[in-house]
A and B are shown apart, each in its own frame.
Chain A
Amino acid sequence: MRIVVDLTRCQGYAQCVFLAPEVFRLHGEEGLLYAPAVPDEQLERVRQAAAACPVQAVLLGEEVNPGDR
Chain B
Amino acid sequence: MTGDPGDGRIVVVGASLAGLRAAEALREEGFTGSLTVVGDEPYPPYDRPPLSKQVLLGEAAADSTGLPMRRNPEAEWRLGVRATGLDPLRKRVTLADGESLPYDRLLIATGTRARPWRNPEEAALDGVFTLRTRDDGAALAERLAAGPQRVLVIGGGFTGSEIASACRERGLEVTVTERGPAPLVGALGGTLSKLAAAMQRNHGVDLRCGVTVTALRGDGGGRFVGADLSDGSRVEADVCVAALGAIRNVEWLADSGLAAGPRGISCDAGCRAFDMYGIVTDDVFVAGDVSRFPHPLFGYQMLSLEHWGNAVAQAAVAAHNMVSPGPLRRPHLAVPTFWSTQFGLNIKSVGVPTYSDHVVIAQGSLEARRLAMVYGYQGRVTAAVTVDMAKSLPYYQHLIETAAPFPPGSGAADRPLAAEIPIPSDVPDPKGLSHGPTVALTGYLPDRRLTVVHPTG
Task: Give chain A's interface residues, CB within 8 Å of chain B.
Answer: 1-4, 6-8, 10-12, 27-37, 59-66, 68-69
Which B residues between 320 and 352 are near A, CB-CB below 8 angstroms? 337-339, 341, 343-346
Total number of B residues with any Cβ neighbor in A under 8 Å: 43
Mark interface residues in B301-315 (1 if CB within 8 Å of A CB, else 0).
Answer: 000000111001000
Q: Does B420 contact A (CB under 8 A)?
A: no
Q: What is the distance, in angstroms, from B32's C-beta to the closest C-beta of chain A?
A: 14
Q: Does B59 contact A (CB under 8 A)?
A: yes
Let me know if B54 and A2 touch, CB within 8 A. Answer: no
* Residues on the B chain within 8 Å of A12, using CB: 346, 390-391
**Central interface residue in B20, B341, B393, by most chain A CB within 10 Å:** B341
**Central interface residue in A6, A36, A37, A59, by most chain B CB within 10 Å:** A36
Q: Does B68 contact A (CB under 8 A)?
A: yes
Q: How far is the CA of A2 from the CA of B50 in the complex (A)?
A: 13
A31 with B79, Cβ < 8 A, contacts A60-B68, A63-B69, A64-B67 known:
no
A64 with B344, Cβ < 8 A, contacts A11-B391, A30-B388, A35-B54 known:
no
* Residues on the B chain within 8 Å of A63, using CB: 44-46, 66-69
**Central interface residue in A8, A35, A59, by most chain B CB within 10 Å:** A8
Mark interface residues in B41-76 (1 if CB within 8 Å of A CB, else 0).
Answer: 000111101100110010111001111111010111
Q: Does B300 contact A (CB under 8 A)?
A: no
* CB-nearest residue of chain A to B338: A8
Which B residues between 67 and 101 are near A, CB-CB below 8 angstroms? 67-70, 72, 74-77, 79
* Residues on the A chain within 8 Å of B307, using CB: 8
Q: How far is the CA of A69 from the CA of B34 in the complex (A)?
A: 11
Q: How far is the CA of A69 from the CA of B339 in the complex (A)?
A: 34
Q: What is the distance, in angstroms, from B431's C-beta to the closest C-beta of chain A?
A: 29
Let me know if B390 and A10 touch, CB within 8 A. Answer: yes
* Residues on the B chain within 8 Å of A27, using CB: 53, 341, 344, 346
5 sample A-B contacts, Cβ–Cβ < 8 Å, listed by A number? A10-B390, A33-B54, A63-B45, A63-B46, A69-B74
Let me know if A31 and B344 touch, CB within 8 A. Answer: yes
* CB-nearest residue of chain A to B340: A31
Let me know if B309 and A69 touch, CB within 8 A. Answer: no
Let me know if A59 and B68 touch, CB within 8 A. Answer: yes
Given contacts A32-B341, A63-B67, 12 further A-B contacts (CB under 8 A): A4-B47, A7-B49, A7-B339, A11-B393, A27-B346, A28-B344, A28-B345, A34-B54, A62-B69, A63-B66, A66-B44, A66-B77
B59, B67, B370: which contacts A2 (Cβ < 8 A)? B67
* Residues on the A chain within 8 Å of B79, using CB: 66
Let me know if A64 and B69 touch, CB within 8 A. Answer: yes
Q: What is the distance, in angstroms, from B80's C-beta to the closest C-beta of chain A?
A: 9
* Residues on the A chain within 8 Å of B49, using CB: 7
Which B residues between 8 and 53 are near A, CB-CB below 8 angstroms? 20, 44-47, 49-50, 53
A35 with B341, Cβ < 8 A, contacts A6-B312, A64-B45, A66-B77 known:
no
Q: What is the distance, in angstroms, from A51's C-beta to the closest C-beta of chain B?
A: 15
